[in-house]
């Protein structure tokens, strides 16, 4: 039982490049979410999903795209990277049935030059 996994752990991009951050969970959780964490800002919700085929925007969705084709996977796409997207990104999952506790992945540290 790996929990929530994220790849890659580190990434450096140039402005304008695109990339996908991967997130997978093996707990059969319905709810999955993406956050970014910046110094002094706390964790801010980017996008979330309550099941395969269902996604919605969080607090800071601009510049990011998501899709959910399976229960296990919830990739985050950066369409055209900007220096303002330099951050640490965390994926989380939880069951909608019990306790609402979110379990977090180890994070991806992204730098956009």
Partner 1 sequence: EDQVTQSPEALRLQEGESSSLNCSYTVSGLRGLFWYRQDPGKGPEFLFTLYSAGEEKEKERLKATLTKKESFLHITAPKPEDSATYLCAGHSGTYKYIFGTGTRLKVLA
52 binds partner 1 (CB under 8 A): no
Query: CA 87 → CA 51, 56, 97, 99, distances in Å?
Result: 26, 21, 31, 29
105 binds partner 1 (CB under 8 A): yes
**Rounded Cα distance, 27 and 15, in Å:** 35
Residue 86 Cβ vs partner 1, minimum distance, rounded to whole Å? 16
- Contact string (CB under 8 A) for partner 1, positions 73-92, x = contact: -----------------x-x
> Which of these, 83, 90, 81, 82, lies nearest to 109 by C-alpha position?
90
> Which of these, 15, 3, 5, lies nearest to 112 by C-alpha position?
15
The span of 14-22, 61-69, 72-80, 94-102 binding partner 1 (CB under 8 A) equals: 94-102
Catalog residues that contact partner 1 under the rule CB under 8 A. 4, 31, 33, 35, 40-45, 48, 50, 56, 58-59, 90, 92, 99-107
């Amino acid at each position: 039982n790996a929990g929530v996994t994220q790849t890659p752990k580190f990434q450096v991009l140039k402005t304008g490049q695109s990339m996908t951050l991967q997130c997978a969970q093996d707990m059969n959780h319905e709810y999955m979410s993406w956050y970014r964490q910046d110094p002094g800002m706390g964790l801010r919700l980017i996008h979330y999903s309550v099941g395969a085929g269902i996604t919605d925007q969080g607090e800071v969705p601009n510049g990011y795209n998501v899709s959910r084709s399976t229960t296990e996977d919830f990739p985050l796409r950066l369409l055209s990277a900007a220096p303002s997207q330099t951050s640490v990104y965390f994926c989380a999952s939880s069951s909608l049935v019990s306790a609402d506790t979110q379990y977090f992945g180890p994070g991806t540290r992204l730098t956009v030059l």
